[in-house]
Amino acid sequence: MIHIPKVMARVFTCLTVILVSTANAQSAFKNFGSIQMHSNASIGFHTDLVNDGDFENNEGLVGFYSDSDVRTVSGTNRPVFNNVEIDAINDLNLETSLGITNELEFINGRVNTPRTNTTISLDFINHNLYAGEDDDRYTDGYASVLGNNEFVFPIGDDDRLRPMITPAQSTETLFNGAYFFENPNSPTTFSNNFNTDDKEVVLKNISNNEYWDLDGAAETTVTLTWDTYSNIENISPLLQFLRVVGWSKAENKWINLGGVDIQGDLTEGRITSLNFIPDNYEVITIGSIFSDIELGGSDNYLISPNDDGANDALVFDGLELYEQNELIVFNRWGNIVFKKKNYENNWSALSNGRATIKEGDKLPTGTYFYTLKFGNQDLDRSKKGWVYISY
């Protein structure tokens, strides 16, 4: 049944639609032509929608309703609506994407998208507003946003809403994302595993309870959330050591993406990353870094060159005894990013290497490796290790 309470002439243009019967004898509304809803139009779908035509230049209100059946949107083309409400107790399944240009209200049921196909999603286009989301009403699968405002993804899994937040952007930007309540060591919908033992040396623990997939070509920060099922205390009992981490497509290991604006406690909270490009990472989750004491040995260092007067530079104890020393710092690809003879314990992450894009810029957050040649009477003596830069 399709409920159309407004005048037909105001609802449809170039109309070619039919009612068809599916395999389970449930009727469906199928569009082969071109349909346009005007500002005072409203359509209530009490049946499935199959869109093989043009159904995207719409105003008014569209509702998907069912007290028992699963509602389905399918077809070769994405329908795009202005205002949408979902009141389908047994969920709305998307077999093709569904676009929304104004407001969405979750009344009953979830929106399910196939987790094995990131091209099918609930699309918020120039997002304005949605309401009603909770642990029973969210997108189980992928949701996308196109726009430049802050966006809280209404995504979840396994009866839990688990938001992910992208900040306001300087230009119109597209991001797509989903939440997975499963162990990244054994994902069910990805072709490879994300081994939590394969990680940067500064990383201590990686969540084995959950992860998110965020796709997008624009550099951004992201805010991840946790709840009691996240078992944050197993990652770090001290919130200041939490970090957003990502599985690098290039390096096949977990990389520290930073952690700022950490709020909450061990049972509920949120953490924001530094800037990164989502498309460079397969999935992201929450991890932790070692504390200064836990770094182990005198060869490894952690510096935070943010000019706050604390741990701003790489300092070697007793270096004043070796005035003919030489310090060489490499990035993870083996390129020299800093080289200095007669080093004076004052390196604050500035780069002078030939691989530097702009000499004098501070290096980004990450792990770097160094060799310190002592010189003087100890001509052959050297010290090697790594230094982690965190702002």
Q: At residue 1, does pLDDT exceed 70?
A: no
Q: At residue 32, does pLDDT exceed 60?
A: yes
CA–CA gap between residue 123 and residue 165 (Å, rounded): 15
Segment of 56-60, 307-311, 376-380 carrying the highest mean pLDDT: 56-60
Higher pLDDT: 217 or 7? It is 217
Confidence of residue 217 (pLDDT cuts 50, 70, 90): very high
CA–CA gap between residue 386 and residue 370 (Å, rounded): 6
Q: Lowest-confidence range among 49-58, 127-136, 282-291, 354-363? A: 354-363
Provide the 3-class DSSP secondary structure of residue 359.
coil
Cβ proximity of 390 and 349 under 8 Å:
no
Q: What is the pLDDT of residue 275?
A: 93
- Mean pLDDT for 343-362 is 78
Higher pLDDT: 7 or 311? It is 311
Q: What is the pLDDT of residue 374?
A: 84
- Please report, as a single letter, which amino acid is at residue 336: I
- Please report, as a single letter, which amino acid is at residue 217: A
Q: At residue 17, does pLDDT exceed 70?
A: no
Q: For residue 53, with 0-12 CB atoms within 10 Å meaning exposed, 13-18 middle and 19 or more buried, which class applies?
A: buried
Q: What is the pLDDT of residue 82?
A: 95
Confidence of residue 365 (pLDDT cuts 50, 70, 90): confident
Residue that is written with structure tokens 């993406």 in the block:
257
Q: At residue 289, does pLDDT exceed 70?
A: yes
Q: At residue 57, does pLDDT exceed 50?
A: yes
- Mean pLDDT for 175-195 is 96
In percent, the amount of the chain with pLDDT more than 70 equals 88
Q: Residue 319's Cα: distance from chain center in Å?
A: 43
Confidence of residue 356 (pLDDT cuts 50, 70, 90): low
Sheet holding 48-51, edge to edge: 17-21, 27-31, 48-51, 71-74, 92-94, 111-112, 139-140
Q: At residue 187, does pLDDT exceed 90?
A: yes
Nearest residue to 25 (alpha-carbon basis) of 79, 69, 66, 65:
69
Confidence of residue 334 (pLDDT cuts 50, 70, 90): confident
Number of Cα atoms under 13 Å in the Cβ half of residue 375:
15
Nearest residue to 33 (alpha-carbon basis) of 50, 20, 47, 52:
52
- Mean pLDDT for 22-50 is 84
pLDDT of 66-89, one tens digit each?
Answer: 999 999 999 999 999 999 999 999
In percent, the amount of the chain with pLDDT more than 90 equals 65
pLDDT of 148-175, one tens digit each?
Answer: 999 999 999 999 999 999 999 999 999 9
Q: What is the 3-state secondary structure (H, E, C) of 240-288?
A: HHEEEEEEECCCCCEEECCCEEEEECCCCEEEECCCECHHHEEEEEEEE
- Mean pLDDT for 261-275 is 94
Confidence of residue 301 (pLDDT cuts 50, 70, 90): confident
Give the mean pLDDT of the chain.
88
Confidence of residue 354 (pLDDT cuts 50, 70, 90): low
Q: At residue 353, does pLDDT exceed 80?
A: no
Q: What is the pLDDT of residue 333?
A: 79
pLDDT of 130-139, one tens digit each?
Answer: 999 999 999 9
Higher pLDDT: 23 or 181? It is 181
Q: What is the pLDDT of residue 294?
A: 56
Residue 162 neighbours by CB under 8 Å, 6+ apart: 155, 156, 179, 181, 210, 212, 225, 227
CA–CA gap between residue 39 and residue 31 (Å, rounded): 20
CA–CA gap between residue 11 and residue 57 (Å, rounded): 11
Q: What is the pLDDT of residue 39?
A: 87
Top CATH class, 295-389: mainly beta
- Mean pLDDT for 272-285 is 96
Q: Which two tokens stand for residue 116?
A: 């094995």
- Tell me the whole-structure pTM to 2 decimals: 0.79
Which long-range contacts (C-beta less than 8 Å, at least 24 apart) are formed by 247-251?
247/184, 247/194, 247/281, 247/282, 247/283, 247/284, 248/280, 248/281, 248/282, 249/280, 249/281, 249/282, 250/280, 251/332
Q: What is the pLDDT of residue 388?
A: 87
